[in-house]
Chain A
Amino acid sequence: MKILAIDTSCDETATAVTEGTKILSNIIWSQASLHANFGGVMPSLAQRMHRERINFVIRKALITSHQSLVTDIDAVAVTVGPGLAIALGVGIEKAKEIAKKYKKKIIPVNHVEAHLLSSFASPITNHQLPLTFPAFGLVVSGGNTQLIYIEKIGKYKVLAQTVDDALGEALDKGARLLGLGYPGGAILEKFAHSATSGQARYNLPIPLADDKIKNRFSYSGLKTAMYRLIEKEKPLTKEKICNLAASFQDVAFNHIINVLKYQIETNPYPLVPSALLLGGGVANNNLLRSKLRKLLKPYGITLHVPYSKKLCGDNAAMIGVSAYLKTQRGNLMNTDQIDRSPNLKI
Chain B
Amino acid sequence: MPRKRLDVPSVEHLSVVDEEGHVDESLEPSIPADDLRRLYRTFLLARRFDERMLRLQRQGRIGTFGPIRGHEAAVLGSVFALQRTDWMVPYYREWPAYMWRGWPLDNLILYYAGYAEGMRVPDGIRDLPLCIPIASQMPHAVGLAYASRFKGEGSVAMVYFGDGASSHGDCQEAMNFAGVFQVPLVFFCLNNQWAISLPRAKQSHARTLAQKAIAYGFPGVQVDGNDLLACYVAAREAVDRARRGEGPTLIEALTYRLSLHTTADDPTKYRDEAEVKAWEAREPLPRFRRYLEAKGVLDAAAEAAVEAEVDAEIRAAVERAEARMQASLLDGFEHVYAEPTEELRGQRAELERELAASAEAAHG
Partners in one complex: no
B contact set with A: CB distance below 8 Å: none
